[in-house]
Amino acid sequence: MQIILNKGFTYILECADGSFYTGSTKNLEKRLWEHNKSLGANYTKNRLPVELVYYEEYPRIDTAFYREKQIQGWSRKKKLALIEGKPELLPKLAKKVFRKKKFQ
Sort 88 into a burial class: Cβ within 10 Å, 0-12 / 13-18 / 19+.
exposed
CA distance 36 to 59: 26
Q: What's the distance, CA 95 to chain centroid?
A: 17
What's this model's pTM, rounded to 2 decimal places?
A: 0.84
- The secondary structure of residue 91, as a DSSP letter, is G
In tens digits, the chain (104 residues) has pLDDT values of 555 558 999 999 999 999 999 999 999 999 999 999 999 889 999 999 999 999 999 999 999 999 999 999 999 999 999 999 999 998 888 866 666 666 65
The widest CA-to-CA distance across the chain, in whole angstroms, is 61
- How far is residue 30's CA from residue 8's CA, in Å, rounded to a whole number? 13
Range 8-93 classified under CATH 3.40.1440.10: yes
Whose CA is closest to 28, among 48, 46, 11? 11
